[in-house]
Amino acid sequence: MILSPAFYERDTVTVAKDLLGCLLVHQNGEGTAMGWIVEAEAYLCGDPAAHSFRGETARNRTMFGPAGHAYVYRIYGLHTCINVVTGPEGIGEAVLIRALEPAAGLDLMRARRGTDEALALASGPGKLTQALGITMDLDGASLSGGPLRVLSPESLPGRRPEGWPGEVVRTTRVGITKAADLPLRFYIKGSRYISRR
């Protein structure tokens, strides 16, 4: 049920859409927490909004590495964000995971986030990494094994995220100024857990 590296080696826009409904799982000494991916954004080669736009640096090196690894970075010096590296090695493409619907480990997620409000636990890229305990030391981690994994939607028998299967909405990305008009954000229509409508 763990997605193979081949899943991520495909076209980045396709991967972004196909990640919806999958489970992002993190297991560490505190326990296991997971959530269904309900919102994602694609960042492409030649995309002025992508961290890879100006070439490889120490900060974005993971983004140029093999597909199927986590690209974790810090924004505003406070929050971490998690992307999945996609496409051929050396290209510098990735999918930002923007929001999760909590699926398991809710007590742990509530403690990490300091809230009991289910809709606020992982409804944004900084919120979801805090809820799942994803830190900078996971930059470059494989998503096919180890503490951080992405599982197929069938991994929790009899359970599915809200609105799934259903329509996928394609729209513009959130919180950027460059290439803000590109329709590279995807979310599950009807989900109350996305970062914004």
> Taking residues 147-157, what's their average pLDDT?
91
Q: Are the beta carbons of 144 and 66 closer than 8 angstroms? A: no
Instruction: Give pTM, 2 decimals.
Output: 0.95
Residue ranges and CATH numbers for the domains of the chain are 5-188 (3.10.300.10)
Tell which residue, 20, 25, 15, has the closest CA to residue 165: 20
CA dist., res. 26 & res. 39, Å (int): 18
Contact 81, 75 (CB under 8 A): yes
Q: pLDDT-derived band of residue 189, with 50, 70 and 90 as boundaries?
A: very high
pLDDT at 183: 96
Q: Which residue has the higher pLDDT, 165 or 184?
A: 184
